[in-house]
Homo-oligomer: A and B are copies of this chain.
C-alpha cells in the first residue's frame, strides 16, 4: 500500500468516527503491537489524541519508556489480524512474526508503520499526568500517512467480545461543524 503524507489538520476526521486501531511501539530492538479502541481527539491542530493503555499491557511500558508510538488504522480486510493482535500478549511473543505483519519505518518516531493499514499516525507522548489514574496518555500526532486509493475505508468499530460494526454508508448534511 503506497502512502502519501496527510495534512495534520485533517487527522481528527480519521479518529473521530471511533475506529479500532493498532498501536505499535518499539523499545530498542523490541517491537510490539496492540489492538485499541479507547481513544479520542483532544485538539484539532496540532492533533492531540488521548488514549488508554492499561498497565497490564506490554505496550504500556514501551510507550511509557520511549514516549513514542504509531497509531495504525486498519480496515475490515484485516479484521482477523486485528482480533489476533488483541488476543495475545506481546511480552513473550513477536506478534509481527506470528501474524506476518509487514512494517515500514516511520520518519519521526522509532515505532514502525503497519503497511496494511490505510492510515498511520506517528505520535509522541506529550502529557503523562493521567497515566497513573486511568492509563491515559496524551499523544501529539507529528506525522500522518494515508493510502490515497482508500476513499471510504471500511473501518472496524468494536462493540465488545469480538463483535464489530463495519463502517457503512456515507451521509452528508449541510453543517457549520468542523
Q: What residues of chain A have their CB less than 8 Å away from a CB belonging to chain B?
A: 10, 12-13, 16-19, 35, 37-43, 48, 50-52, 76, 79-80, 83, 86-87, 127, 129-130, 133-134, 136, 138, 154-178
Instruction: Assess the B177–A35 pair: CB atoms within 8 A.
Output: yes
Q: Which of B37, B40, B174, B178 contacts A160 (CB 8 A)?
A: B178
Quick one: copies of this chain in the complex? 2
Q: Complex: how many Å from CA A44 to CA B178?
A: 30
Given A18-B19, A38-B40, is A161 in contact with B175 using a C-beta cutoff of 8 Å? Answer: yes
Instruction: Assess the A87–B177 pair: CB atoms within 8 A.
Output: yes
Instruction: Assess the A166–B164 pair: CB atoms within 8 A.
Output: no
Instruction: Assess the A173–B18 pair: CB atoms within 8 A.
Output: no
